[in-house]
Structure 1
């Protein structure tokens, strides 16, 4: 067995929770992390994978629990988005850094990107927490969301469990590098949104000129 006592910073801080509550803690935090609540579900998923690599948890159970919790969390957020999306965003959006300006950009992005956004959003902080809510409030068809929600959840869980399981306690540098890639990806998504908004504005302006 591999010793799991040498985990760095935020990973080590979550070890007591996993030691005491095991799969229940994993299910709860992963579900909440995919359901509007900014908790370290992704980080706990990595720690659970490290534990599985050390023989302290079962890797298949970690994957199954992670997938079910991620899918369920986003599905609940989707239903809330269909029913109470605008009101929830107005009241609680600031807690997950979803301002009115970001919400307006996200609306346009979802209308244009659809399924691709649902999959990619899992790997980006802020979008992971608000993914289901935005899809629901933008009235993405439920069956379509459920399909791509499952695909995104499976890809997200597979990526992070593979990283934790294979890296073990040497995960520190890889984890920091992965977080940097997340920031780069978030910047790329925001740039794409800005470009789409500017293109829509430019086309509207051109139409207005032709009509005048």
Structure 2
């Protein structure tokens, strides 16, 4: 799908209400696990590019996406907390005791830093807050890390789109560039796992 054409059509059809639609879309991508496939990074980047043309307000976009990322992360974290409590009462095959303990140790040591980085990685952006809730990450640490990560993600991608989104090469290859980020993240995780086994 040509996301730029879809955004242009939305602006024509909905006018200022497009901001509400964008807010709901980003909140759903982060906060509702089955909707992880929705376009996060490309959407923010293209909105930034359109704001450089005067079609959207970049300051309002950054604030709106920041709020959407916070709300979505809070939703996912809350669901994770509920799942974590149920896992302690029931014997889930997919979430056994040792796995839960490992997750808890990870979020105790690296959870804050991880939540700063994961907004930039598709899929992880959705599942990291959920996993933090399941692992019982301290809510204050989660909130601080999510605030910082959401601010960097929303402002950074809107600004990048504003300044670089109208460069022909970047705009034409946006999907490939976003996909390469996902592939690189997956490759890094695979290499790390191989070194641990070795």
Query: Where on the TM-score scale, by shorter chain, does this alignment land: which range?
Result: 0.7 to 0.9
Report the Cα distance in structure 2 between the residues aligned to 1:190 and 1:116, rounded to whole angstroms: 20
Shift of 1:151: 0.9
May I ask how many residue pairs the two structures share in their alignment?
Answer: 178
Q: Contact (CA 8 Å) 2:41, 2:178: kept in 1 or not?
A: no
Shift of 1:119: 1.1
Shift of 1:166: 1.1
Of residues 124, 129, 142, the one that matches 1:127 is 124
Residue segments in structure 1 that go unaligned for 5+ positions in a row: 1-7, 89-99, 200-212
2:29 matched to which residue of 1? 33
Q: Contact (CA 8 Å) 1:32, 1:41: kept in 2 or not?
A: no
Bigger Cα Rg: 1
Shift of 1:76: 1.2
Shift of 1:195: 4.7
Shift of 1:117: 1.1
State the secondary structure of the residue aligned to 1:34.
helix
Deviations 1:44-78 (A, max 9, x none): 22222122111111110000001011011101111
| 1:66-105 alignment, distance < 5 Å | 66-85=65-84, 100=94, 104=99
1:210 matched to which residue of 2? none
Report the Cα distance in structure 2 between the residues aligned to 1:193 and 1:110, rounded to whole angstroms: 18
TM value normalised by structure 2: 0.76
TM value normalised by structure 1: 0.72
Correspondence 1:23 to 2:33: no
Residue segments in structure 2 that go unaligned for 5+ positions in a row: 88-93
State the secondary structure of the residue aligned to 1:57.
coil
Structure 1 residues 14 and 57: alpha-carbon distance in aligned structure 2, compared to 1, 3 A threshold: closer
Q: CA RMSD in A?
A: 2.8
Correspondence 1:180 to 2:192: no
1:92 matched to which residue of 2? none
Correspondence 1:141 to 2:138: yes
